[in-house]
Structures are given as structure tokens and as C-alpha cells.
Amino acid sequence: MGAGKNSGPSTSSGPQSHQIFCCAFNAHGTVFVTGSSDHLARVYLNSLSLLAILLNGYPIFIFYVWYEY
């Protein structure tokens, strides 16, 4: 996963122009979490390629995420 435009699932219909700064996934590869320059953390369910949770309200860029289960 690199920086630039996001071609994956989104909650908006317009083009995305945020950078993904960090990511984490569980041991089975079924949950994927990203943190980005748009101050949002996204939780994806890889088995469905679905954006499951969108976490907002962070006042700064998200540079670090981790997944523990």
C-alpha cells in the first residue's frame, strides 16, 4: 500500500487525495487498519474487501496504528 490516491472503498464519492502513513493487520490477514493524512483511521475486513469502521476526530495526522487481538 503506498501513498497517493486511494482506489479502494470510500465513504465519499469524490476522488481521494490523502496519504497513508501507517498500516497494521492481524495475524490471519483478515483485518487491516490504516492511518492517513486526512486524520482518519480506517478498519477494513479483507475477506469482504469492505471498509468496516471509519474513525475520525483525530486532530493530527495518524502516523502509527497497531492491531491486537
User: Looking at the predicted structure, is the pLDDT value of residue 5 above 50?
Assistant: no
Quick one: cell of 19? 496519504
Q: Determine the average pLDDT of the residues in 22-40.
A: 88
The full length of the chain comes to 69
Helix residue ranges, H only, 1-69: none
Q: Which of 9-13, 44-48, 62-66 has the lowest mean pLDDT?
A: 9-13
The Cα 40–Cα 69 span in angstroms is 21
Q: Are 5 and 16 in contact (CB under 8 A)?
A: yes
User: Looking at the predicted structure, is the pLDDT value of residue 22 above 80?
Assistant: yes
User: What is the structure's pLDDT at 14?
Assistant: 56
User: Looking at the predicted structure, is the pLDDT value of residue 11 above 70?
Assistant: no
- H or E segment and range at residue 31: strand 31-36
Q: Over pLDDT 70: what percentage of the chain?
A: 75
